[in-house]
Amino acid sequence: MQLLRAGPSPFVRKVLVTLHETGQFADVEQVDVTASPIEPDSKLIAANPVGKIPALIRADGPTIYDSRVICRFLDARADAGLYPERRLWDTLTLEATADGIMDAAVLMVYEMRFRPEDKVHQPWVEGQWSKVSRALDALNTRWMSHLNGRMDMGHIAIGCALGYLDFRHDARSWRTGRDTLAAWYETFSQRDSMVATKPE
């Protein structure tokens, strides 16, 4: 299998952490592509017509994407139990919350990177951060009992989302006022899978 990836994408990291946690890391060749929203790589477009990463090219079936589909596939392939039936809807909701954080945080980066400086719309940027901030507040107040339980895909996704905030938006100080979530992340970020995939 080949995993199409680019740079420090938090969505790619979510897949990489899943590969580590499920013992499948050696089964997948990582292939770097360009994932620019303006001029995406032709290899990426051939695999995923939307032109987004990650995409997983399989020998025995069509390419699958996005990160949620890939992680669910890898979990089933390894019978790892990262989507436990008993709390499936909570796990999926946490994963969706993390993906929402990552979507907004990546769009903030894109706004600054791909628009001319005089076209950057700061209220739009702040609107994206408001999504992130509300999600972080919800995690800190409503979801800690789940995050303190047995690890599932919700944990992995949230860990990768918070890691991306540190990497790209550290000046926003997401930990302020969210001591419980910050303490959880301090512990989770020390897992071998998180250390091995930390963006540089």
Enumerate the domain spans of the chain: 2-78, 85-195
Give the whole-angstrom CA distance, residue 82 versus residue 150. 9
CATH architecture entry for 2-78: 3-Layer(aba) Sandwich (3.40)
Strand 2-5 and strand 55-57: the pairing is antiparallel
Q: Bin 149: left if φ > 0, else alpha if -120 < ψ < 50, else beta.
A: beta
Retrieve residue 111's tokens: 């706004």
Give per-residue pLDDT as tens, 149-166: 999 999 999 999 999 999
pTM for the model = 0.96
Q: What is the pLDDT of residue 35?
A: 84
Query: What angle do helix axes 179-188 and 122-142 make, rounded to 10 degrees?
Result: 80
Is the CATH number 1.20.1050.10 carried by domain 85-195?
Answer: yes
Give the whole-angstrom CA distance, residue 116 versus residue 111. 9
Q: Which of 112, 132, 95, 114 is nearest to 34 (CA)?
A: 114
Contact 6, 16 (CB under 8 A): no
Give per-residue pLDDT as tens, 113-162: 888 888 999 999 999 999 999 999 999 999 999 999 999 999 999 999 99
- Helix ranges restricted to H, 23-121: 42-47, 67-78, 88-114
Share of the chain above pLDDT 90, in %: 90
Q: Which amino acid, residue 170?
A: D
Strand 55-57 and strand 29-32: the pairing is unpaired
- If one counts every other C-beta atom within 10 angstroms of the C-beta of residue 154, the result is 26
Predicted confidence band at 7 (pLDDT cuts at 50, 70, 90)?
A: confident
